[in-house]
Structure 1
Amino acid sequence: MKTLLLASALFAGLFVSLTAVPVPDPAPAPYHAFCKTMLFAGPCTDIKTMLVTQILASSPEYTLVSVVPGFVKANHTSPKTPEGESIIISLNPTILTGGCRMSALSTSNGFTSLFDGGQNYCNLYNLVSASGLMKEPGFMEITNEWACLGYGLATCS
């Protein structure tokens, strides 16, 4: 019964947070690969701290660009993707559960990288995984091929 109640509260919080709080995510250029994807039970300040700590620890692969209330901006480069990707993470509190809805956008900077084999999804997945956020209570990933180009092809390491 408690599990059903918790699941109902999480889904209700997700629904309310998706409809009640508009998030000004930038739209990716149509010729660039992109990925939008997460819901957490913890407060956004804690989620932001864990993400920023991981970005700083993952230098030079990830570089922190800016941190402002509700947003984290970073860049990602690797030998596999030297042109890199821009990452914008939006963090909004959920109304019913007191958790945090993270809307992340990783956009490839290279013109010819429309089909990136899931690289943009892996940028976000690896960052969240390495930060320990996937082990946080109430973690829920919400994405699909429509929201995250290349999601079905991704093999993150």
Structure 2
Amino acid sequence: MTVVNQIKAWTGTTTCKRGEENCMYELISVTPFLIKASKTSPSTKSVSDLTFTLAPTMELSRCLVTGDAISESSMSWSENGIPYCSLEDLIIGSGLGKTPGFKEFTSDWICLGFSLGNCTTTTSLKRTIGE
């Protein structure tokens, strides 16, 4: 529930810092295999619907998490990867990005604007593309 706790920590505007996006998250629902949230960008006011789908793997100590961020406005390159960064900032902010065995698989083909993302929390994350 680390991601859920991070969403709750970044709810509202009190965690907004000048030029950063780590605020204005809203937890929508939580089930054992699905976390739904939304994120409003304080800079552009665009809203992204966020979904984390959790699936067990053959190894009991691991699980597969798929994150989706879908902009409620028309997706365009002009969003500078804000929907992607909304997911990535949660992973890094919660500490899950430093978990042993963590790997991220994405690209501009999978996530429009991925390479344009100017994420605020993720400067230390090594992006693993297509391994």
Q: TM-score range by the shorter chain?
A: 0.7 to 0.9
Query: Aligned equivalents of 2:91 and 2:85: distance in 1?
Result: 10
Structure with more contact order per residue of length (Cα contacts < 8 Å, sep ≥ 6): 1
Q: Which residue of 73, 80, 85 maps to 1:122?
A: 85
- Residues 83 and 117 of structure 1: is their aligned pair in 2 closer, same or farther, counting only changes over 3 Å? closer
Residue identity opposite 1:89 in structure 2: F
Residues 54-103 of structure 1, C-alpha deviation per residue, up to 9 Å, x if partnerless? 00000121110000120000000122231311001101111146411111
TM-score, length-scaled by structure 2: 0.77
Runs of 4+ in structure 1 deviating by more than 6 angstroms, as ranges, are none
Aligned length: 108
Q: Percent of aligned pairs with the same residue?
A: 37
Alignment match of 1:72 (pick from 28, 35, 56): 35
Name the TM-score, length of structure 1 as normaliser.
0.65
Q: Matches of residues 1-157 of structure 1 in structure 2 within 5 Å?
A: 49-60=1-12, 61-96=24-59, 98-111=61-74, 113-115=75-77, 116-157=79-120
- Classify 1:126/1:108 alpha carbon distance in 2 versus 1 (closer, same or farther; 3 Å): same
For 1:81 and 1:88, the matched residues in 2 are separated by 21
SS of equivalent residue, structure 2 residue 55: strand
When you count helix as a share of all residues, which structure comes out higher? 1
CA-atom RMSD in angstroms: 1.3
